[in-house]
Amino acid sequence: MEDENGLKTYCVTGATGYIGSWLVKSLLQRGCKVHATLRNPENASHFIKSWEGGDRLSLFKADLLEDGSFDDAVRGCDGVYHVAASMEFGVPATENLDGYVKNEILDPSIKGTLNILTSCSKTDTVKRIVFTSSVSTLTAKDSSGGWKSIVDESCQTPVKHVLETKANGWVYVLSKLLTEETVFQFAKENDIDLVSVITATVGGYFLTPTIPTSIRVILSPVTGDPKLLPILEAVNLRMGSIALVHIVDICNAHIFLMENPKAEGRYLCCTNSCAMSELIEHLSHEYSCADTNRFDKQQHDSLPAEISSKKLRDLGFSYNYSIQEIIQHTVETCKDSGFLPIM
């Protein structure tokens, strides 16, 4: 609902996360009013200076698992960006943890998202909800195990396949798949305008005090992270390449899809993708200290499918940053933060 000065108001959930924090910054820079939700607003002091919102920024305490806790945050908003999500990767596939996964990860993700949509349904001002999904929900493999030539929004990984294979990161994939399926069904039943952004692995700058998980995944060939490098390798096996997008572009895409009246359904947001060997070469070029000799580059490469953002581009969206720039900005920011040592 525009105020007397013509400013639109948007709610951003998960405002202290990687995408959420940059999205708040981007919206404020565009002159919007922002309702930022946090579980603990007192922890927002790190972000306040970077956001530079002044009286256009309002903080709201909200918990995904608390019914009605988003009512105040979405009241009077023109739209809601639901970015908040669990980044749980480390559930072993060898143990029977079905009960744990359901009670501690899946139920909170689904219930929390439905809580937000329910809050939105109580107000007549919210015109659209933009939901942040993930490229992890897609696959380049066809039903026979062969490679598709193009991966787009239609190439969703079957839930049955996720449960059967339980590959690295399977809980995160399952959470995103089931949550997205549930919210679209709820939106349809309650006449809510919902658009989903299928987000590639995000790199570039960041505002968070700790290194975002997606940044650490991108850098795992350099750091050798024993938890996240297998995630990157699993992505490469499923997709045939690594799909990347810059943090500025992914936030611009969220805003573009919120504002474009023709937007509907799901949109894959990926600048481009690169083979594992190409990613390693980019990392080695930008960070001369990188020890990537342990990789058999041929072993990590397949015939990658084209990971296509055609639907988003056809709507009129354009990207500002190349893969080379994504890696460059990722490495530079992590060197500045001390995560990557400078030698």
Q: How far is Cα 116 from Cα 96, in angstroms, rounded to an integer?
A: 31
Annotated catalytic residue: which of 8, 25, 33, 176?
176
Contacts of 326 (CB under 8 A, 6+ apart): 203, 204, 244, 245, 246, 271
Q: How far is Cα 69 from Cα 119, in angstroms, rounded to an integer?
A: 8
Buried (b) or exposed (e) across 187-224, using 16+ Cβ within 10 A? beeeebebbbbbbbbbbbbbbbeebbbbbbbbbbbbbe
Short-list 254, 270, 200, 216, CA closest to 90: 216
Does residue 176 carry a catalytic annotation?
yes
Active site residues: 176
